[in-house]
Structure formats: structure tokens, C-alpha cells
């Protein structure tokens, strides 16, 4: 047998192995997607009906609008990253959707988000900026679409009365745990802009019964968390690429101090039951994850170039998105 035969055999085996590996990887992505579809349908049914199971197929259909909307927002964010990576010839995986099963005592959004992994080195800060900023902006546009639809298609007051017949009773909610979502600048602006005088608009304590408002709010919350300018979060990539390592470290450190401060205020408010509703104890937990896992400083890139005016403008716009999407007190739980 010739050397050429052996070379071709080895090449064929390598190609077959690569195809098999790619097929197995695709199966993993699809399985995670369908599991997340199921868990978000369950979560949507819980949020919109207020019922915690068991469910029939008919009742689960009520959770489908929430599920499809949340998958739309997550997909927009992650494919924003993915296509930017492809544009810069950076190898990246398809999104891994992360399902979250219904667990008593936890906020059940049905998912913990989605992630992609880059499998090759990002060459410079321009590529890093484009990949980092594409996700939040794409996800933000998706949130905007969902929120505009939600506010312009609000059901009548009979919708909330079907869920809570005693909603307008002076004793409504007494003795029960209340969950209120914290307002954001964008959410409040769209609410004022898109609703009519005299129209019933759900208070922030009831938003979770309205799937499109719920998903839009949740999407802004996730966008804001990712845009915190720390370490290798999307916001960290953007600020590092725009201003360099020294300014990024200063901005990241200030952000961490503010985050810890909001976390401590929320914890004190919760323990002492002050009801001032400033801060959220979850920010303290998130700051610990940032400090010990994601890290505060951004690792250096191989080549660093000054960004052009177009990219700088896009960067400032993404930071504006962070400001209007961020809520210092995203969750208020009270009796």
C-alpha cells in the first residue's frame, strides 16, 4: 500500500471524527433548547395563572407566549455575540440554553439564560468590542419589541380579575407575600408613552401575570446585569475596549463598590424590615460572583487599538442602555 493511501485514510478518519463531533455538539444544543422550552412554558404558566401545578396540556398552552418571548430575547442576545464572532473569524459555539426547573422557594423564570463559548483567541480590542457589544444591543432591541407589543396589547381589567377576583378589595393581599418588580427608566417611560388615560395598567406587583411585560422586564434585568462594566462581562469588554485597562479598572472598582453598597442596603432593609426599598441583597451575592469568579480586572488582549468614532458612539449607546435598564431594587418582597 502506498503512503498516499495511508494519508488519505488518516484524513478521512479525521474528517469523520470532526463531523461526528459537530453532530454531537448540535444535538446537545438542541436538547438544551427543548428542555429550556419546556421549563419556560412551565414558568410562564406559573407566572401568568398564579397556579403551581399540576398542569394539563391545555393549561400549559397559557405559558407558551412567555416561553417564546423569553427564548426570542435570549436568542437575540446570544446570536448577536455569535454573528459578531463569525464576522471576525473567531470560532464560537452556538448558544447553550440553560434550563431552570421549577423549584419551590425560588424565582422561577424557567431559565438561567444562555451562553456561547469562543474557541479561538480574540485578536484585538476592536473584535472584542464588536463581539461584546453585539449581544446587549441585540437583546435590548428584542426587549423593546416585546415591551412595545406588551404595552400596546394589554388585556382589559377582566384579565386580572380572572386570576385574582378580589383584586379591588381593600383587603386584597393581606397576609400574603407580595412580589414587586423594581421599575426602570425605560419600563416607566414606555408605560407612560404607550398606555392611555383611564386604561387599566398593572402595578409592578402584578406585572408577572402579563407575559410580554414580564419577559421585557426580565430581559432588561439580564441586559443590565451583563452590562455592568466589570471583568469579562459584556460591559467589561465594552469599557475595556473603549478606554483601556487603567480606566476600566477604575470604572470596574467604582461599580463594584456601588454594587456591594446596594447589596448591603438591601440586606439591612430585609433583616431589619425597614421597608425603605433601596438596594437588593442579591446584588451582594452577584458582586461576590464577579469578584471571585468573573474577576474585576479585564485580561489584556494581544493587540490594542484606539477605537474609531463609530465604535465609540455605539459604546456610549450601550452604556446608555445599561442606565435605562438597571434597577437598584429589582425585587421587593414584603408581607
> What would the pLDDT profile of 58-109 be if each residue is shown by its tens digit?
889 999 999 999 999 999 999 999 999 999 999 999 999 999 987 765 678 8
Distance in angstroms (rounded) separating the CA atoms of residues 190 and 151: 8
CA 185 to chain centre: 17
Amino acid 105: pLDDT: 58
Amino acid 50: pLDDT: 78
Amino acid 16: pLDDT: 57
217's enclosing H/E stretch is helix 211-226
For 72, the 3-state DSSP assignment is helix
Quick one: CA torsion of 271, 274, 278, 284, rounded to 10 degrees?
-10
Amino acid 33: pLDDT: 97
The C-alpha cell 426599598 sits at 277
Residue 99 CB contacts under 8 Å (≥ 6 apart), including other chains: 32, 35, 36, 38, 39, 40, 110, 111, 112
Amino acid 319: pLDDT: 98
Distance in angstroms (rounded) separating the CA atoms of residues 209 and 189: 20
Positions in the chain whose pLDDT score sits under 70: 1-18, 104-106, 335
> What would the pLDDT profile of 137-167 be if each residue is shown by its tens digit?
999 999 999 999 999 999 999 999 999 999 9
Amino acid 11: pLDDT: 53
List the beta strands (DSSP E) in 59-190. Answer: 96-99, 111-115, 178-181
By C-alpha distance, which of 247, 253, 245 is closest to 299?
A: 245
Mean pLDDT rounded to a whole number for the chain = 91
- What are the residue ranges spanned by the domains of the chain? 3-334
Amino acid at each position: 500500500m502506498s503512503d498516499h493511501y495511508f494519508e488519505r485514510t488518516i484524513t478521512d478518519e479525521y474528517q469523520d471524527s470532526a463531523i461526528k463531533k459537530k453532530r454531537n455538539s448540535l444535538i446537545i444544543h438542541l436538547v438544551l433548547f427543548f428542555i429550556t422550552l419546556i421549563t419556560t412554558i412551565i414558568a410562564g404558566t406559573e407566572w401568568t395563572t398564579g397556579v403551581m401545578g399540576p398542569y394539563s396540556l391545555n393549561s400549559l398552552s397559557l405559558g407558551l407566549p412567555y416561553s417564546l418571548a423569553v427564548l426570542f430575547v435570549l436568542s437575540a442576545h446570544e446570536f448577536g455575540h455569535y454573528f459578531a464572532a463569525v464576522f471576525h473569524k473567531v470560532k464560537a459555539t452556538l448558544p447553550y440554553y440553560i434550563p431552570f426547573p421549577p423549584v419551590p422557594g425560588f424565582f422561577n423564570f424557567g431559565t438561567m439564560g444562555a451562553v456561547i463559548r469562543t474557541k479561538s483567541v480574540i485578536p484585538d480590542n476592536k473584535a472584542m468590542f464588536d463581539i461584546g457589544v453585539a449581544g446587549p444591543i441585540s437583546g435590548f432591541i428584542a426587549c423593546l419589541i416585546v415591551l412595545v407589543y406588551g404595552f400596546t396589547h394589554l388585556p382589559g381589567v377582566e384579565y386580572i380579575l380572572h386570576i385574582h377576583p378580589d383584586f379591588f378589595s381593600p383587603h386584597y393581599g393581606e397576609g400574603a407575600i407580595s412580589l414587586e418588580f423594581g421599575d426602570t427608566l425605560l419600563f416607566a417611560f414606555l408605560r407612560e408613552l404607550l398606555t392611555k388615560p383611564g386604561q387599566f395598567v398593572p402595578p409592578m406587583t402584578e406585572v408577572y401575570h402579563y407575559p410580554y411585560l414580564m419577559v421585557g422586564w426580565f430581559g432588561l434585568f439580564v441586559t443590565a446585569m451583563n452590562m455592568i462594566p466589570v471583568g469579562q462581562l459584556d460591559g467589561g469588554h465594552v469599557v475595556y475596549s473603549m478606554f483601556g485597562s487603567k480606566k476600566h479598572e477604575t470604572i470596574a472598582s467604582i461599580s463594584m463598590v456601588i454594587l456591594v453598597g446596594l447589596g448591603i442596603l438591601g440586606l439591612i432593609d430585609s433583616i431589619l424590615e425597614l421597608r425603605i426599598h433601596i438596594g437588593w441583597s442579591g446584588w451582594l451575592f452577584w458582586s461576590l460572583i464577579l469578584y471571585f469568579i468573573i474577576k474585576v480586572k479585564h485580561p489584556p488582549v494581544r493587540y490594542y487599538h484606539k477605537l474609531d468614532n463609530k465604535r465609540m458612539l455605539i459604546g456610549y449607546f450601550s452604556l446608555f442602555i445599561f442606565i435605562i435598564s438597571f434597577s437598584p431594587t429589582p425585587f421587593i418582597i414584603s408581607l
